[in-house]
Structure 1
Amino acid sequence: MRDIGIGLIGSGYIGKTHAIAYAAHNAVFGGPARPVCRALAEIDQQKADQEATSLGFKRGTGNWRDLLDADDIDVIAIATPNALHKEMAIAAIQAGKHVYIEKPLALDATEAEAIINAYEAQTTNTNPLVHMLGYNYLCNPMISVAKTMIDSGELGEIVHFRGRHNEDYMASPDVPFSWRCSRTAAGTGALGDMGSHIIGMAMHLAGPASSLSGDTTTVIQRRKDHTGTMRTVENDDQAQALVRFESGAMGILETSRIALGKKQGLAFEIVGTKGSIEFDQERMNELRLYEANAPIGRAGFKTLLVDSSCPDFGAFCPAPGHGLGYNDLKIIEVNRLMKAIVAGAPVPVDLYQARDIERIIDTWITSAEQRTWLNLD
């Protein structure tokens, strides 16, 4: 078994999901590659040592650049605020490391392009660098089932995609101003944070988009920061768009961080000429299917439960209906990273697909500002 050394930057919520996935991967999937938690970088040495011990890394460092020259590290995993992604990703690529970056790729498409330029200047046929983004909802076994249904023609021609990713973690005006409210640190608000997930899902299932008409708004315009100072929120609380896909299908996308009652509100409906499907991440082990050829009086949606026929589920459990959880999706994602490194397998979202998501976000914002439909280049 080949050890793949991991250097993780950031130990917050997302960093912890990484640590859980690295630790669990071998027990769940085994295979020819094993992620090994070698080093964790944080804002200072004290925090790095503390979090390295807590999350199972062999050492900590207060300087993330220490990971670049470490011979025992193969992958740089970036789990930091968005504004840091560009510098860290480019440095990791130039150091010859594989990169695993939490979404979104960057603040905008221009930064995404700079990362790709660095990758293309560094990688070679004899030393290909793997690049993967952390769009872990795409790794849900039920999403794989939905993709198979679409690609096989089981649903017929896809004519409509309605998708949303709504949550309420900033619905209260008492939630303090954080880096997520800063255009400099985060870029967009709900649109980059959660909208990027539903955009990625739409691209994965319905294909490339050709044009859109977008809208955005900031509902809670001022929040107190950690010092009690009132600050202006610089990015969007919610956004919506009408979309046309290259296939001709129509679509509606929406996202919100102030949607009261929605906790993990990533959901979609896909309408085809032979059938329709519905999915909700809050019920992530189910897919609802409507088939047009049902007998008269028997038409209606039926619920499909995850089972061992669904990709990746059998590695966790042989029994149908015994559902997976959020962190399990990260374990599946890490397994796809391992397969990409040792066997050249495709990843769910690479740098180029992530750049396309950033282009859609940029166009969405411009469309909202200009109040018009815009084509996607």
Structure 2
Amino acid sequence: MESIGVGLIGTGFMGKCHALAWNAVRPIFGDVPEIRLVHLGEANAELAKRKARELGFEKASDDWRAVIADPEVDVVSLTTPNQLHPQMAIAALEAGKHLWCEKPMAPAFEEAEAMAAAARNSGKIAVLGYNYIQSPAIRHIRSLLAEETIGRINHLRIEMDEDFMADPDAPFFWKHAATSGYGALDDFAVHPLSLIHVLFGQVAKVMCDMSKPYADRRVDGRNRREVETYDIASALMHLENGVSGTLQVNRSAWGRKGRIALQIFGAKGSILFDQERFNEFQLYLSSGRPAEQGYRTILAGPAHAPYGNFVPAPGHGLGFNDLKTIECHELLARIASKPANLIGFDEGLEIERTVHSMARSFAEQRWIDVR
């Protein structure tokens, strides 16, 4: 394709992130078609027009269906709240559009199954916004594991923490409602599970616990509403490859801003990674003299593709939005039938299956087989 027309539905944090990626992908990578920002959809016409001007879209609409119906739109970026994904995603695929949908797929597993079926039936490309797998450090860790640099893996620990729900006096908002899903389990845990998916494969068996640090939240000056979702979740895991693991997620962790901490332990060493310092990782090798053994900090640089497309010098660092630009480039590669590092709807469905198995484990207070 010489050019590709983009439609964007939703212009919050992730909507802006998608727009920045679409604007940056050609200058950064070069080997992609001309990008046309065609049509933007928002909740009302005034907001849609303002965001279209800010983000560079040609048209604006207060009806998401108009974005999907636009014949100039080839691919839709869907960045609306979780509960709106199924209807919009299925409509886009049935209209013959490629789809870039933010995670998670849907609050209900049956809805996620319907989305995956729609993607298969459409013959179009449908991928999910798991941008952390695009980190140059994570990509290099994946190659180290494939080369068995730290030997056979025996255990992994992964955590995701933020503090945007840590304040007990913060008001109730949509992520506290059951219509958004379980809470931290599907809002957060899907990101660590995406890393597990690309680094190790599928989860086989889980045991999960969830908790609410605050039972209710204020709605206005006098009224409060019950919190319907769980801000904290912990799980024991057995992977299909035999590796054991633990997962812990917390949306109420004061002091944690964007932490995804990964610890991988093998027979010959270990690897540590933290998303809050995602331009570096630590490598420990048990070889050599004990007196000199210790963790080495490895800074990301042009040797860790595709870092060099952004910055020609090591140690200068990429940012969160750069990961989205990498993801956008991977999406365009898949549309062009080239190899791509992405999580499609069928793979995403397995992550959703794991999340719902964890929720079932909590409800039934027992180990659950994921498949």
The TM-score, its normalising length taken from structure 2, stands at 0.97
Shift of 1:227: 7.2
2:356 alignment counterpart: 362
User: Is 1:26 the equivalent of 2:42?
Assistant: no
State the percentage of identical aligned residues. Answer: 37
- Going from structure 1 to structure 2, the CA distance change for 1:40 and 1:283 (only over 3 Å counts) comes to same
Q: Secondary structure at the match of 2:254?
A: coil
Shift of 1:366: 0.8
2:6 alignment counterpart: 6
Shift of 1:285: 0.3
Aligned partner letter, 1:155: I
User: Is 1:165 the equivalent of 2:189?
Assistant: no
Contact 1:34 1:338 in 2 (8 A): no
Moved more, 76-85 or 36-45: 36-45
Q: 1:138 pairs with 133, 150, 157, which one?
A: 133
Q: 2:257 pairs with 250, 253, 263, which one?
A: 263
Q: What do you get for the CA RMSD once the two structures are aligned?
A: 1.2
Aligned partner letter, 1:308: P
- Going from structure 1 to structure 2, the CA distance change for 1:160 and 1:75 (only over 3 Å counts) comes to same
User: Is 1:147 the equivalent of 2:142?
Assistant: yes
Deviations 1:248-272 (A, max 9, x none): 1110001010011110111110011
Partner Cα separation in structure 1 for residue 289 and residue 104 of structure 2: 45
Aligned partner letter, 1:219: P
1:92 alignment counterpart: 92
Partner Cα separation in structure 2 for residue 32 and residue 307 of structure 1: 23
Deviations 1:88-121 (A, max 9, x none): 0000000000010000011132111011122222
Deviations 1:203-254 (A, max 9, x none): 2212211101000011111001257531111111100000001111110001
Q: Secondary structure at the match of 1:251?
A: strand
User: Is 1:232 the equivalent of 2:229?
Assistant: no
Q: Which runs of 5+ in 2 are unaligned?
A: none
User: Is 1:178 the equivalent of 2:173?
Assistant: yes
Partner Cα separation in structure 2 for residue 344 and residue 46 of structure 1: 39
2:272 alignment counterpart: 278
Contact 1:243 1:253 in 2 (8 A): yes
State the number of aligned residues. 371
Map 1:110-129; keep pairs closer than 5 Å: 110-123=110-123, 129=124
Deviations 1:343-368 (A, max 9, x none): 34334211011111111111101101
Q: Secondary structure at the match of 2:325?
A: helix
Q: Secondary structure at the match of 1:219?
A: coil
Partner Cα separation in structure 2 for residue 255 and residue 226 of structure 1: 28
Partner Cα separation in structure 1 for residue 246 and residue 33 of structure 2: 40
Partner Cα separation in structure 2 for residue 104 and residue 146 of structure 1: 24
Q: Which runs of 5+ in 1 are unaligned?
A: 124-128
The TM-score, its normalising length taken from structure 1, stands at 0.96
Q: 1:214 pairs with 195, 208, 233, which one?
A: 208
Map 1:274-313; keep pairs closer than 5 Å: 274-313=268-307
